[in-house]
Amino acid sequence: MCGISAIITPYNFNPALDPHPSTIHPPHEPENTLKALAERLVPDSVCRDGAPAGEQTEGEEEAHHVHVEYELPASGATPLANGTRTQDSSNRSASNGKPHNAMLSACATHAPETGASEYKTQLVDELTRSLGRLSHRGPDGQGVWVSADARVGEIYDYEHTRSILEAKGYEFASTSDSELVLKLYLEHGEEFLVHLRGEFSILVYDSVNCKVIAARDRYGIKPLYWTTTPSGRILLAAEIKAFLGIAGWKPEWDVKSVVDCGWLYDTRTVFKGVRRVRPGHAMVFTLDGSHENKPYWAPSYPDKHARDDRTMGEMVAGFKERLIDAVKCRLRADVPIGIYLSGGIDSSAIAGIATHLIRSQPDVTMGSEQASSAIKCFTIAFDKGEHDESAIARRTAEFLDVDYRTMHASEELLCACFERAVWAVEQPAMDLNFVGKCMLSGFVTAQGYPVVLTGEGADEICAGYSLFLADYLAERDTTSALAIDDEEFRRQCQRLEKLRSDPASMSNAFNQSRIDFPGKSKALAAIRLTQYPQIQSAGVWDSQLFAPWTQSLGQGNPVLTQIQDLDPATRTEMREKWHPLHTALYLSVKGPMEGLILTSLGDRTEMSGSLESRPSFLDHHFTEYVNHLPPSAKITVAADGSVVEKYVLREATKEFITPELYKRRKHPYSAPVTYTPGSHVHTLITKHVTVENMKMLGFVDVEYALGLIEQAFKPGGTNAFRKCLVLAEYVVLHKAFGMITASMPPML
């Protein structure tokens, strides 16, 4: 687990410029209904395998802290000064999912010449309060230093990487991931990040060169936010709520980001001045107040003009080998590991591979579980209907012969946990599925499983969404013998055109109204008219939702935001080298996957229950191989003319899943979206979406918002319901963070 909070104080720091927190509207943290629910669903007397809660199970040791001092050569040739510290367990328990010692706060500071003692006391107080708001990310241990530090999430291939460093003469005082990261930095400098495998957010303070390196893993599985205060201090944290109580930070709406969907498609958030560190990037902050954004990794795809003569069998074998390795390395931990199991192929494939490994390789276990213990799978069940996949998950569990546990997220419970879940994710969502994930994380942790394997990322890596079809058919795949023939290609293009014009099928992604704006054709030409940004954003954005004054902020919409966030080199690759399907996959990975899937349905929902997730499909050794498979290995057409998404995944995991799942088409994870007047959800929405609350926000068109409620609970009102849900979430965030009403900025 990873709970970072840091303050960087530059040389020219003037504390008088930072208003005291007492001058800012106080936050109102929602009641922790998620914790109460977990305690109700899993009685206090129940722990893993029936052991009483609070008692150690066999093989577990009492947690203890170790402080490690790294004494470096006096020559100053190495990049870190003496006194670099890390707090961790003497074994690898903290970095392997065990709650003990999982909290770390770092503070790199250059104190003013006068009042240094008082300022140091202020820093410790600020960071202690900040950590208190992140206790769910590692509730049993924390540390605060005004010094150098580092912290990771979960690093794999630990032994291999350590052995390389030991061969070069490095000695280790512990077996913590934190020490490994620091030794890699000593050896490689800022290039140390390319040697890490896993999911992490990291802070390293280099006191010799007076800089702080803040980095995230390649896909942004672990979060890291940063902002500045009026005095010039730089704040970093794993969650935005950690900034509350730090002098100088005042939570305000970033209305431009809300209107542009910048919180979803680029590095902005819904909070003014708060940004995400980009996945695959390091931010380098210096004590003179400057900063630089440095990429160390990005997805790449094959040249669409280069021939790929591999057979499907060869591709399947390569895919399978790397996915099994990705799952296997994520099964190592000093705590029990469970598996999230839905009714889809992705999580089922992970469960199937893990089961295969446990039963075929005696040295592989589900973390600290005994080899004879039943594999535990956890599923969420919604009220009966098309959104409830628990029956399919049960059949998969029976096929695999694993222990299967279901948590029922009823409409009433979803509403009861809504406000706390919004507080957890800190951004809007157009579905109640994130509330269900928050509930599920607490349910799993309460049963003694602090780590789970998940299936996130498969759709974005292997082309699992139906909307990718448009870009697959935008150009013939001329690279591989797997490509469909000319006749089938024409037939599928005709089918797509019918979907685009079919008024009787308003639910499909292809016939939704496209966003229009001045300069649209030129903007799209920059990415060779890739259709993904238009199709994906059609259901996300509604310009009528915003107050008229927001137009003064300039032209903005999600299509433009996605294109403008691309660097020139990537745009060139998209125009000249990549097949349109691969351009769409890149945009999906860099946009909704990082901004929504890995946030509102990933780390933030899991960490709300102190649960660590490990998404095997986002192992970069695996994804680098899959990215360079041809388009037709990812999407193809079956003999009956139906489109098959995630083609290579289906073939590679066929032996691990049921025939039912092998044939089943994609059904995105979603909570129910249809409710009636008088229902629990109707009461929830009408409680938050009121005239008073819409005026309180300041950036919403009040009349239009109230009109949405009239549509949301009628037949065909799904889109209106999703927008009402977002409005309710804005209200919760506004009150929880103590924000002020947004208004038109003064004209210069």
Q: What CA dihedral angle connects 206, 209, 214 and 216, to 10 degrees?
A: -90
Nearest partner of 346 among 385, 312, 392, judged by Cα: 392
- Cα–Cα dist 437/37, whole Å: 13
pLDDT at position 121: 82
* Residue/partner pairs of 483-490 with CB below 8 Å, 24 or more apart: 483/630, 483/631, 483/632, 484/632, 484/636, 484/637, 488/637
pLDDT at position 113: 54
- Cα–Cα dist 501/512, whole Å: 9
pLDDT at position 54: 38
Burial string for 64-77 (b: 16+ CB within 10 Å, else e) reads: eebebebebeeeee
DSSP 278-320: PTTEEEEEETTS-EEEEE--------TTS-----HHHHHHHHH
pLDDT at position 746: 84
Nearest partner of 270 among 699, 585, 564, judged by Cα: 699
pTM here is 0.91
- Cα–Cα dist 748/732, whole Å: 32
Count of Cβ atoms closer than 10 Å to residue 690 Cβ: 17
- Cα–Cα dist 258/267, whole Å: 12
pLDDT at position 221: 97
Query: What are the two backbone dihedrals, phi and then psi, of residue 235, each rounded to the nearest 5 degrees?
Result: -110, 140
pLDDT at position 65: 27
Question: In which residue ranges of the chain is pLDDT below 50?
Answer: 1, 45-109, 139-140, 147-151, 748
pLDDT at position 384: 76
pLDDT at position 198: 95
pLDDT at position 115: 62
**Residues 535 and 240: beta-carbon distance below 8 Å:** no
Tokens representing 478 are: 């001329």
**Residues 512 and 536: beta-carbon distance below 8 Å:** no
H-run or E-run covering 636: strand 635-637
Q: What CA dihedral angle connects 640, 646, 651 and 653, to 10 degrees?
A: -140
Burial string for 702-717 (b: 16+ CB within 10 Å, else e) reads: beebbebbebbbeeeb
pLDDT at position 372: 67
CA 518 to chain centre: 33
pLDDT at position 43: 54
Cα distances (Å, whole numbers) of residue 686 to 224, 625, 705, 708, 725: 34, 49, 11, 11, 10
Q: Which residue's structure tokens are 């054709």? A: 521
Strand partners for 285: 212, 291
Nearest partner of 457 among 229, 674, 627, judged by Cα: 627
Give the 3-state secondary structure of residue 87.
strand
Q: Please report how the helices 680-688 and 718-737 are oriented relative to each other, as an axis angle in degrees rounded to 10.
A: 50
Residue ranges and CATH numbers for the domains of the chain are: 5-14+70-295 (3.60.20.10), 312-408+436-462+592-663 (3.40.50.620), 467-544+551-590 (no CATH), 680-737 (no CATH)
